[in-house]
Structure 1
Amino acid sequence: MKSVNRPTLLFALSTLILGLFFGWLFFGEGKAVQDEHNHSMANGSEVWTCSMHPQIRQGEPGSCPLCGMDLIPVDMGDSDDENPMEVKMSPTAMQLANVQTAIIEKGKATKELRLSGKIQVDERSVSTQTAHISGRVEKLYINTTGEYVSKGKVIAEIYSPELVTAQEELFEAQKMKAMQPQLFAASKERLKNWKLSDSQIENILLAGKPQERFPILSDINGIVINKKIQLGDYINRGSSLFELANLSQVWVLFDVYESDLTWIKTGDPIEYTIQAFPGQKFKGKISFIDPFINPTTRVAKARVVTANPGNKLKPEMFVTGMLLSQVKGSQSDIVVPKSAVMWTGERSVVYVKSFNEQSMSFAMREVTLGPSLGDSYIITEGLKYGEEIVTYGTFSIDAAAQLAGKPSMMNPEGGKAMAGHNHGEMK
């Protein structure tokens, strides 16, 4: 048999010794540390856990190895008279988790609605200028939309064979006025039915011959918003010539989404601004709300009627309104911050503080949510006035409940406390 040389033997012995040392370091010491850690938690009255990772448990303060948050203490002591539905937290734990509470008081549920919209023509002020006699348009005095027309102004001239014939009949009736005054009166009345004034009829009689081109006078004041005729068009009696709108009063129409309709009603005051007048505020009241939802935009229109001296407000100007409203049919509501509510999609829960100030106990309570109020919710079921709820730090309370095996958001029935976080043993 060959003898093993000395350098080889020394290398083998060194390797064996190092292997034994590292094996003890990783397995022996780590196991001892973990056993000591678990023993200290079993005998201690407090366990330190992470509010975001309740599976992390230590017997002393520190940081969560998963997220780095400060660990909070949870009382793990058993008590025969302890309420199985409540979870206890020490004052130290509440301070570290920044748990805040508030007492529910009576109050009105109000919501600030921000609405956008536009200035629009008051539909009630829109009128149509029609032709009162048939004929051909020989001349137009109004050629573009946007022009202002005053009542009595000449807007067009027409040639009407029918009117020429009626004037000739008037002259014949005038000759027999002394013998047949009724015929003369009937001829004049016929012209009046075509909206000719007494002065126009007198001018015809003074001229002594028919006028071939006859002026059409405007019946109303307003701004032309739609021009419907062109030079040379033949028009019939009753034909629409122009559409005119009186802008001395306009509508402010706001878009209201269906989710906000419960918060708005006729008579509500609203304050709004107009892009064209930065820094200037306008006030009004909601006078009408559409009884239907636009199927394309999914909004209803809320209307404010406002005076418009000097036609300062122009149709299609953009407006932004702010309305502070109370929910319809509600005099007092339970309103809680959204930070107080834990929501799983199917269930909404809050934590209610026990009236025993020394125990610092909290019990999970399922609630029914009403409308959202920005940073708050209306609670329709599950809470009552005078109760004290957690408004900040609910996740910390819930983590403590999970650790203690009490009902929690994810485990509403409660159960065995979660296993400790094993970070020392390797298998």
Structure 2
Amino acid sequence: MISIFQKNKILIVAALLIASGIYGYKYFSKKKPEKKAVEESKNVFSVPEDVLKRHPLTYVALKEVSQFEELALPGRITYDPESMAKVGSQVEARIKKVLVKEGDRVSQGSPLAILSSIQLGEVEASYVKARASLDALKLQADRAKELFEMKVTSAKEYELATMQYKTAKTEAETTRIKLDNYGLTPSEIEGIERGIYVSSNLILRSPINGEVTERRAILGQQVTRNEELFTIANLTHLWVLLDVYEKDLGGVREGAQATIFPLGDEQSTVQISGKVGYVGTVLDNVKRTAKLRIMVSNKGGKLKPGQTVTAKVAGLVVSTGEGKRKMVPLEAVHEIEGKSFVFVPLGEDTFEAVNVIVGDTIEDDVVILGGLPEGAKVVSKGSFVLKSEFLKY
């Protein structure tokens, strides 16, 4: 049996515990708002009046835009003209031997085919003759100069010998240029000059490093001047060409990022990044489209010239009609210690740095996912000055 004294003691202890709990609850519930107020006050700061005068501020409100998704357009892979070459004969000839096939990798100067040309043989013979005449006339001109200086011959005879030498020199140089244009190398031309190389054979060589992507040369074929026989291309850099409608051109800029997919397979793991290298300035009169050129690196060889692909370009977007997105200018958002902040005016010279949650960046605007109340205005132009002042606190 519990005595009356013990009962009273238990009641007193219980009453004390209840009173302590009530007091503690009231104490800590009052303290929390104070702590929060202290935390919030850390983000409120003032800016000196003279600073604001030197750096006028611009205020903007959240703007709402429709939800967009990137627009996927069909495109076609093509060569980069700066990394390809068409090779043909500079003279009428017959193909004696073809040294490469499609798919072969070649270096600059690699032989592609051997041609036989009567015309080339005639020019080589003319060059040999011109060089021999030039050497003989040079001796005559030098001798005429000596005799003229010794006053043995007249000035007229000296001038005639000099003129004949200059004419022969011009003819030899002109013939040498022809050989150079036909594709003979300097060493081959030097061989002709020394009389150890006279042939009607012409070797076609690759002007660049790359891959033989097209071969039209056939053994025994008679070819004409400038007829294309080989296409050599460096396939590590290619172009993607798109047709973009006039209404969408305003959202695309040179340098914009692009993603390339196999046609119709946007979920494919085969994705190649590129950049917009050119936005067309002339519209097709019928389709009302302009050409968009994307430069891509193809070091892995995943893309082939002539291949059809799908491309998504930053700035090429289409409205989904689902809800709205809230945006502010990109210059209004600043990253501080890994968080994104905007500056909200509280008075003429007082501002608050508000932590916001940001989304995608579209052109010069950034999506605000949270942190700003409806109707709030933020500082846009001049906000970098506020960032500097805020970091002083």
- What is the TM-score normalised by the length of structure 2? 0.47
Greater radius of gyration (CA)? 1
Higher helix share: 2
- What is the TM-score normalised by the length of structure 1? 0.44
